[in-house]
Amino acid sequence: MSGGWRIPGRGAEIDRARPLRFRFDGRDMEGFAGDTLASALMAAGVRVVGRSFKYHRPRGVMTAGAEEPNALVEVIEGPQQTPNVRATVQELYGGLQARSQNRWPGLSFDALAVNDFLHPFLGAGFYYKTFMWPRQFWERVYEPLIRRAAGLGSLSGRADEGEYEKAYAFCDLLVIGAGPAGLMAALRAGRAGADVILAEADTQLGGRLLADLPEIGGQGARDWLAGVRAELAALPNVRVMTRTTVTGAHDGGTYGALERVGLHLADPGDLPRECFWRIVAKRAVMATGALERPIAHPGNDRPGVMLAGAIPAYVNRWGVAPGRRVVIFGNNDSALSAARALTAAGIEVAACVDPRPEAAVLEEFPVYRAAQVVGTRGRMGLHTVQVRHAGGLSEVQADVLGLSGGWNPTLHLACHMNGRPQWDDRIAGFVPREGMVRGLTAAGAAAGRFSTSQCLDDGARAAGEALAAMDMAAPEVTPPAAEDAPYGIAPFWAVDARGRAWLDFANDVTTKDVAQAALEGFASVEHMKRYTTQGMAPDQGKNSNTAALAVLADATGQSIPETGTTTFRPPFVPVSIAALGAGARGKGFAPERRLTSDAQTRAMGAPMIEAGLWYRPSYFPRAGETTWRESCDREVTMVRGAVGVCDVSTLGKIDVQGPDAGRYLDFLYTGRMSSLKPGRIRYGLMLREDGHVMDDGTCARLGEGHFLVTTTTAAAGQVMRHMDFVQQGFCADWALRFASVTEHWAQFALAGPKARDLLNTLLDQPVSAESLPFMACQPVSMAGVRGRLFRISFSGALGYEVAVPARYGAALFARLVEGAEALGGGAYGMEALNVMRIEKGFITHAEIDGRVTAFDLGMQRMVSAAKDCIGKPASERPGLMEDGRGQLVGLRPVDPSDAIDAGAPLYTAEAPARAASWQGHVTSAGYSPTLQGWLALGFLAGGRARHGEVVRIHDALRGRKLMARVCDPVFLDPEGRAMRG
């Protein structure tokens, strides 16, 4: 061992034939394949791996697992920079780059270590007490200062470009954890033919067996594991998922799990970094083992102080010695086992310190019984341990101190649905109760059963119970023989001695902080936690919460069960948001719906705007046009004077068929659709059941029992859901069916005095004004392609909408644009469409915003008096048809040079712009080149009786003030001559 930290003949998991280079804090180092970053750093002699959160004290590796509070590093992979990576979990790969956190400029000299000398002022609650005044200092001085000094790790400030994945899985039995209990559970259920998922957070199966290497069934642990692994691999009904941490237990047997897929590979290729699984299981066995807890004694945070059980893990798994002389300080029999294991591995155990007076003393190493560790020395690494015993105070030279205050069953998942665990004096820890999560059973150490034999038996039992609950046969299994040593423990949490004793290493919480919290009245565990930040770091207090609870119980004179426990919430380990949201980044979050005309539209240079998930052209710029307004004005003029073409396929289209279709639509719409003649179209309003307008659109009767309903783009989904509800809820036995055909048809509006001329260049059989009157429809064919023709207009101009199966959309759009341009027209976009519908007073969801009734719109006559419909009874309630309500009006600036903004509030002309004189608001506005001025629609209190009145528009948000005259909402061609022509 001289000259290195590797132990010859130990370390079954590393491959000494495959050395790997890596970098830590800019230094090149070497480890082996199979190492974790922590074991590789240990082998390289690195003792200080980070600085603590508040006092910036040097810290070393504390554990060998996911619960690590100290060894948090940043891992850098190209543009990726991942903070708070636990070095104990990060597998080594060639070229790995990692950086320590929370230090500046470096680990060995950290400027903020001065905090450590200021510790009398930095105790619990110091933020609240110190940074109170002067008040104006908070935002400008204190907060930035605290933010720079505190916090763990840093972000790159760039978007996460990594690949993540999400996946779903289903099984009969989910076994969580592959230690002895989990393996027996998986074996029994697997042999019984159940569909089993075995999820293991570690890189391989075995759990604690890998560290302790007990004999099982007369075999070495690794030989037994090899047999189990082979059997599980041969069972087609068992899926083994390593590197997969179950992070949460949720409703309905759903479990979240995070799989590290590519994070351990030098070249992950196409593999994602992580995959977030949602696993749905009929039953689950929680075989998550137990987590060792340290003891709070003065100076227990020096690099070299670690958990006793972690030391054999480093020795046996990765063949690395954390030090050369070890002191073990523990209150339970597992500490003694660890000391024996180290002796057997040739590591000198300088002393075993046991607070129990009856501790055995006949060992191959000195045992101090009824003794305690009262202090340590060694700023950048432990060198001396001070032991208080019956004979006085001894100083023991040691570079590693292994602590064991007992073991906490890893019961977090069982508590995720608000269940509270119960205290068990036998193990001085909390154990799960039955039924905390429906369908989940704890087994083995997670249930407080600690010997290898107990774990094997308990895993088999739990699987048997799960199989029985699923009515599956559960053939008996005989678990192999293994050690069954009793677990003796005497509760011991904190040493009574001078000096700071740490509980939560990650957040720098000491026993004094907890006592101080109790003293200041934060005596409930939830208050203490928030006041001291105990258990609120990335490790969530996995090692420290129970001891903190014990210290609080002591300070308040209560028992631990009386003091309670904090709430465990998912996730069990930190889960990156990127993994949770996999697939939803950027366009994945809002996929694009593209029109069939999309490619040509973009090729024509049209800027696109979003309409829900759709992308629609804003306007089609032409040479010489420098602003959107120039293009928009030209497009409006083009439609009013010649012809324009616009893709309107985004409108929702619902095909309704059946003998009762008309009756159903009568119930759905305010107006009567059953009286519509085949080949005719009617405009309709749909109300919500509360009497407000849901949507508007057209209803075309294509045949006797065949209707085509259109919805607005925005409300297509809502209307479909509503129609399903009305049909399934109120008229399920009527003879009709309907389906959304929105994406099946490409539909284009042709608008303008030359619309019919353009249309007839394409139709195989031309139409005339008389053959297809306004609000009529008919089948058509164009070059043999069968489509539908509707004579409707949303611009007020002579208008048609022609629909073809979507596969012909692009070709038809190209021909229509070409034809329109030949007639002095062209394509138009949403801006022009909006201006033209305002000119005509046609409404959109800017007007029907969910608070508006048919009465408000001036459409009360559309609510048929002769029949019932959804929303009609409620629309007639008092208050919904009052004259004082906001009513749809038109508005024009008194000074023609003024512009109006949508959203601007309206006030009475003579009163100031105050809430008391508020009269309504502008819903839509646009410049009309046809009428040479700004036009707006809006709601004005009692507005229908106020045409001609002048109102004040004061838009404080955009700083625009003007006077406007109220008028009818139809500005242009109120008789509709153009569209009927």
Ranges within 494-523 binding another protein (CB under 8 A): none
Ranges within 167-206 binding another protein (CB under 8 A): 168
Q: Distance between alpha carbon 880 and the CA centroid of its chain, in Å?
A: 41
Q: Identify whether the C-beta of residue 331 lies closer than 8 Å to the C-beta of residue 356.
A: yes
Is residue 622 close enough to count as binding another protein by CB under 8 A? no
> Minimum Å distance from CB 171 to another protein?
14
Query: Is cis: bond before 607, omega within 30 of 0?
Result: no
Q: Distance between alpha carbon 687 and the CA centroid of its chain, in Å?
A: 35
Between the alpha carbon of residue 673 and those of residues 660, 709, 773, the distances in Å are: 11, 10, 18
Is residue 821 close enough to count as binding another protein by CB under 8 A? no
Is residue 689 close enough to count as binding another protein by CB under 8 A? yes
CA distance 877 to 584: 44
Nearest to another protein of 686, 967 (CB atom):
686
The phi, psi pair for 524, rounded to 5°, reads -75, 150
Chosen residue from 108, 154, 254, 422 binding another protein by CB under 8 A: 254
> Minimum Å distance from CB 102 to another protein?
38
Question: For residue 190, what is the DSSP state?
Answer: H
H, E, C per residue of 783-801 = CCEEEEEECCCCCCCCEEE
Residue that the structure tokens 């509360």 belong to: 690
> Minimum Å distance from CB 859 to another protein?
20
> Minimum Å distance from CB 594 to another protein?
21
> Minimum Å distance from CB 247 to another protein?
17
> Minimum Å distance from CB 698 to another protein?
22
Ranges within 725-744 binding another protein (CB under 8 A): 725, 728-730, 732
> Minimum Å distance from CB 725 to another protein?
6
Ranges within 361-400 binding another protein (CB under 8 A): none
Chosen residue from 78, 133, 134, 251 binding another protein by CB under 8 A: 251
**Strand, helix or coil at 354?**
strand
The phi, psi pair for 415, rounded to 5°, reads -95, 0
Q: Are strands 164-176 and 274-286 parallel, antiparallel or unpaired?
A: parallel
How many residues interact with another protein (rule CB under 8 A)? 26
Ranges within 404-433 binding another protein (CB under 8 A): 417
Q: Binding pattern to another protein, positions 835-874, x when CB under 8 A? A: ---------------------------------x---xxx
Ranges within 426-485 binding another protein (CB under 8 A): 438
- Residue 428 backbone zone (phi > 0: left; psi -120 to 50: alpha; other: beta): left
> Minimum Å distance from CB 420 to another protein?
15
Q: Are strands 305-307 and 400-404 parallel, antiparallel or unpaired?
A: parallel
Nearest to another protein of 121, 725 (CB atom):
725
Is residue 877 close enough to count as binding another protein by CB under 8 A? yes
Q: Which stretch binds another protein (CB under 8 A): 37-45, 150-158, 172-180, 721-729?
A: 721-729
Chosen residue from 520, 690, 821, 973 binding another protein by CB under 8 A: 690
Nearest to another protein of 157, 252 (CB atom):
252
Ranges within 882-921 binding another protein (CB under 8 A): none
Amino acid at 689: E
Q: Which stretch binds another protein (CB under 8 A): 249-257, 261-269, 368-376, 528-536?
A: 249-257
Q: Identify whether the C-beta of residue 326 lies closer than 8 Å to the C-beta of residue 17.
A: no
Chosen residue from 364, 434, 496, 724 binding another protein by CB under 8 A: 724
Nearest to another protein of 345, 417 (CB atom):
417
- C-alpha neighbours within 13 Å on the C-beta side of residue 918: 11
Q: Which stretch binds another protein (CB under 8 A): 148-156, 250-258, 829-837, 882-890?
A: 250-258
Please calculate the CA angle 114-116-121 and round it to the nearest 5 degrees. 100
H, E, C per residue of 835-850 = HHHHHCCCCCCCCCCC
Q: Distance between alpha carbon 120 and the CA centroid of its chain, in Å?
A: 40
Element containing residue 661 per DSSP (H, E): helix 661-668
707 strand-pairing partners: 656, 701
Tokens of 292: 């060792």
351 strand-pairing partners: 327
Q: Which stretch binds another protein (CB under 8 A): 208-216, 601-609, 653-661, 718-726?
A: 718-726
> Minimum Å distance from CB 729 to another protein?
5
Q: Identify whether the C-beta of residue 599 lies closer than 8 Å to the C-beta of residue 810.
A: yes
Is residue 584 close enough to count as binding another protein by CB under 8 A? no
Tokens of 529: 């936690």
Q: Are strands 785-790 and 27-33 parallel, antiparallel or unpaired?
A: unpaired
> Minimum Å distance from CB 303 to another protein?
46
Residue that the structure tokens 């646009």 belong to: 926
Nearest to another protein of 134, 252 (CB atom):
252
Q: CA dihedral defined by 553, 555, 558, 562, rounded to 10 degrees?
A: -30
CA distance 55 to 566: 25
Is residue 569 close enough to count as binding another protein by CB under 8 A? no
Chosen residue from 391, 521, 878, 884 binding another protein by CB under 8 A: 878
> Minimum Å distance from CB 612 to another protein?
15
> Minimum Å distance from CB 873 to another protein?
5
Chosen residue from 720, 775, 852, 857 binding another protein by CB under 8 A: 720
CA distance 523 to 520: 8
Per DSSP, the residues of 68-110 read: -SS-EEEEEETTEEEEEEETTTPBP-TTEEEEE-S-SB-SSSB
> Minimum Å distance from CB 251 to another protein?
4
Is residue 756 close enough to count as binding another protein by CB under 8 A? no
Nearest to another protein of 784, 878 (CB atom):
878
423 strand-pairing partners: 430
Nearest to another protein of 645, 685 (CB atom):
685
Nearest to another protein of 557, 729 (CB atom):
729
Tokens of 42: 């240990």
Chosen residue from 23, 119, 250, 527 binding another protein by CB under 8 A: 250
Nearest to another protein of 128, 168 (CB atom):
168
> Minimum Å distance from CB 288 to another protein?
22
> Minimum Å distance from CB 32 to another protein?
43
The phi, psi pair for 216, rounded to 5°, reads -130, 125
CA distance 554 to 543: 19
Residues ≥6 apart with Cβ < 8 Å to 898: 934, 962, 963, 964
Residues ≥6 apart with Cβ < 8 Å to 475: 188, 191, 192
Amino acid at 375: G
> Minimum Å distance from CB 278 to another protein?
7
Between the alpha carbon of residue 557 and those of residues 153, 242, 403, 562, 563, the distances in Å are: 38, 45, 26, 10, 9
Nearest to another protein of 150, 280 (CB atom):
280
> Minimum Å distance from CB 585 to another protein?
18
Q: Identify whether the C-beta of residue 121 lies closer than 8 Å to the C-beta of residue 51.
A: no
Nearest to another protein of 755, 863 (CB atom):
863
**C-alpha gyration radius of the chain:** 38
Q: Binding pattern to another protein, positions 259-298, x when CB under 8 A? A: -------------------x-x------------------
Is residue 818 close enough to count as binding another protein by CB under 8 A? no
Residues that bind another protein (CB under 8 A): 168, 250-254, 278, 280, 417, 438, 689-690, 720-721, 724-725, 728-730, 732, 868, 872-874, 877-878
